[in-house]
Amino acid sequence: MEFKRITLLSGHYGSGKTNIAVNMAFELKKQFERVVVADMDIVNPYFRTKDSLKEFEEAGIKLIASAFAGSNVDLPSLPQEMYSLTDDVSSHCILDIGGDERGALVLGRYADSIKRENDYEMLFVFNAYRPLTPDADSALEVMREIEWAGKIPFTGIVNNSNIGEETTPEDVLASMEKARELSEKAGIPLKMTTVASGIFPSLENKIPNLFPLKLQAKIM
Amino acid sequence: MADKVLMKGNEAIAEAAIIAGCRHYFGYPITPQTEIAAYMAKRMPKIGGCFLQAESEIAAINMVYGVASCGLRVMTSSSSPGISLKGEGLSYLAGADLPSLVVNVQRGGPGLGGIQPSQSDYFQATKGGAHGDFHMIVLAPASVQEMADLTVHGFDLADKYRMTSMILADGTMGQMMEPVSLDLNVKPMPEKPWATTGTKLERFHNITNSLSLVPEELEELNFKRYQRYAEIEKNEVMYEEYMMEDAEICIAAFGIASRVAKNAIVEARAQGIKVGLIRPITLWPFPKAPFLKATEKVHTFISVELSMGQMIEDVRLATECRRPVTLVNRAGGMIPSPEQILEAIKNAHKNGGAN
């Protein structure tokens, strides 16, 4: 997999951004020495990249997150360290943006620097099985809202269509047409399709650029 | 394509409400239920419905009163501290015999508390919810699918009995994502001849009101209301029994606690301990009969709760104190672990009900 210096993951909330960010960081670490994951989600106090802090530390991946992420304090703030993402160009970064246009608002603060350096990939995470983005048109609407709020245009699409643990290979295959339609309508490429590692083998030869996700641990 | 979608519990409630015909939502944001409001804000304008972020929880519940008076399906949602604010309105809805759906996605308390899951509003929900003699129908989902199913059912019951149905969920249920079928069982809404829909000069005007200054009349209203409650206790009880056929130990748990309890039960069964679960789905009316019947074979009941022990009182009443009832609990936003429950099961097994 080829990476730009900065990879931004954005999309409808619950589309799977955080999980992809976590998995992508480990992939990135295979290729580059200095890898940083930035949790820019100030909307959702649950399901944070910080949940993977221990695994990141063991792998030598740096995590920048709000001091309050995953705590009981529901405070939307970001640390000043976030500026190192654009100031320090020796690191490769994954940016996990909050859901919808509300989550992407925070990105606007960093958008100019990111665009000036121009070594980024802004990926839209698409899940056709989420009720508010069941088709290309509704997803495109969310894309436009996020671009308006975050001030960075999308450059690619990640198809992460799934219905959780019950997802079958057929469900993923059935979503490909919608993902391609979205790619066509948005005028940007379908960069990859992500699936749970359990069903990865049965799809490996059927879908191009397939990326297996080792799902995050569930509490129950 | 799969016939299911992937939804958060909060979203499932919102979409199910829309499917049930609810076109009016009034709320005020509070974690961990904000997705309900956010979802309604996106969806309602697209289907000709009304989403309104009220200036407060109190304003929202009174807007519910207004729309309910007009005979339309209406809902509001909040989390624990916000539900307390709605208390006055809940009592007025009861006093005016108005149907509505109110969602409480509980968080740890008391006070502002925290934002992690809790079941510590059990007393508040099942014992009235505010001043005066009244009940709400209280439904406790234990999966995202049930968040959807019980929302539709809640509207049906509210209309049928002219009262408030409350979905009593918790932060985990609201936030967790699971596959959901939105092929829901929506019944036609009953006629509402009492609604304030305009007389068209064809009838005397209707009034929805909770003020009644003549004590004899107010008493009569209370008696009539409680006749309806008795009917509900007879007809609308819902519960799930899990591995109860030969159980000598019975766990009582609802919502997220019941899911953890099931894991512990499977483990205990593997160790040869006969344990089962009664999961109340309606918390009011409480499923008294299955608990009383269980006393014939069960030597110990264990109430598993995300509170300091509230439902345990209803378990004791339902079992008429014939068997010991012990408590396994966490509070303040913490969730009991399967190991903690397993430990209590093993203790009960060792003591054989002799404690």
Domain boundaries, chain B: 5-235, 240-351
Asked whether residue A216 carries a pLDDT value surpassing 70, the answer given is no
A14 touches chain B (CB under 8 A): yes
Domain assignment present for A141: yes
Q: What is the pLDDT of residues B73-100, one digit of tens each?
A: 999 999 999 999 999 999 999 999 999 9
Question: DSSP state, A216?
Answer: P
CB contact under 8 A, A131 and B32: no
Environment class of A165 (CB within 10 Å of its CB; exposed 0-12, middle 13-18, buried 19+)? exposed
The more confidently predicted of residues A137 and B355 is A137
**CATH architecture type of domain B5-235:** 3-Layer(aba) Sandwich (3.40)
pLDDT at position B129, please? 85
How far apart are the C-alpha atoms of B248 and B274, rounded to whole Å? 6
Question: Distances in Å between the alpha carbon of B302 and those of A185, B143, B253?
Answer: 57, 22, 8
| B217 vs A220, residue with greater confidence | B217
pLDDT of amino acid A170: 96
Distance CA B324, CA B250 (A): 11
CA distance B300 to chain A (A): 26
Q: Which residues of A touch B175 (CB under 8 A)?
A: 46-47
Please write the tens of the pLDDT for every residue from B297-345: 999 999 999 999 999 999 999 999 999 999 999 999 999 999 999 999 9
Task: Give the total number of structural domains in chain A.
Answer: 1
With beta carbons less than 8 A apart as the criterion, state whether B109 and B84 touch.
no
CATH number, span B240-351 = 3.40.50.920
- What global pTM score does this model have? 0.92
> How confident is the model over B11-39, as pLDDT tens digits?
999 999 999 999 999 999 999 999 999 99
**How many Å apart are CA A208 and CA A191, to the nearest integer?**
9
Average pLDDT across chain A, whole number: 90
Touching B: A residues 172-201, CB under 8 Å: 174-175
| pLDDT average, residue stretch A56-80 | 81
User: Mean pLDDT, chain B, as a whole number?
Assistant: 96
Residues of A in contact with B183 (CB under 8 A): none
B240-351 and B5-235 share a CATH fold: yes
Contacts of A174 in chain B (CB under 8 A): 1-2
A219 touches chain B (CB under 8 A): yes
Burial class (CB in 10 A: 0-12, 13-18, 19+), B133: middle
Whole-angstrom distance, CA of residue A204 vs CA of residue A99: 29
Closest approach of B11 to chain A, Cα-based (Å): 9
Task: Enumerate the residues of chain B whose CB falls inside 8 A of the CB of residue A14.
Answer: 6-8, 11, 177
Question: What's the rounded mean pLDDT across residues B116-124?
Answer: 97
Q: Does A171 touch chain B (CB under 8 A)?
A: yes
Q: A72 CB near a chain B CB, below 8 Å? A: yes
> Looking at residue A128, which CATH number applies to its domain?
3.40.50.300
**All residues at 6 or more sequence positions from B177 whose CB lies less than 8 Å from its CB, including other chains:** A14, A164, B6, B7, B8, B9, B144
Nearest to residue A66, comparing CAs of A56, A55, A75?
Answer: A75
Sort out which chain A residues have CB atoms less than 8 A from B116's CB and list them. Answer: 72
In a domain, A78, yes or no: yes
Here the ipTM equals: 0.85
- Is A219 a domain residue? no
Q: Strand B5-8 vs strand B50-53: parallel, antiparallel, or unpaired?
A: unpaired
Q: Which residues of A touch B115 (CB under 8 A)?
A: 45, 72, 74
Q: What is the mean pLDDT of the segment spanning A103-119?
A: 93
B279: pLDDT confidence band, cut at 50, 70 and 90? Answer: very high
Question: Closest to B179 (Cβ–Cβ): which among A128, A163, A170?
Answer: A163
| pLDDT at residue B355 tops 70 | no
Q: Which domain holds residue A173?
A: 6-213
Residue A218 maps to a domain: no
Interchain contact, A164 vs B178, CB within 8 Å: yes
| Partner residue facing B6 (CB), from A47, A162, A170 | A162
Q: Which residue has the higher pLDDT, B236 or A17?
A: B236
Q: Which residue of A has its CA nearest to B14?
A: A131
Confidence bin at B280 (pLDDT 50/70/90): very high
Q: Label residue B354 by pLDDT band (50, 70, 90).
A: confident
Least CB-CB distance to A131: which of B1, B7, B172?
A: B7
Structural domain includes residue A74: yes
Residues in chain A within 8 Å Cβ distance of B114: 72
What's the maximum distance between 2 C-alpha atoms anywhere in chain A? 46
A45 pLDDT above the threshold of 90: no
Does residue A131 sit at the B interface (CB-CB below 8 Å)? yes
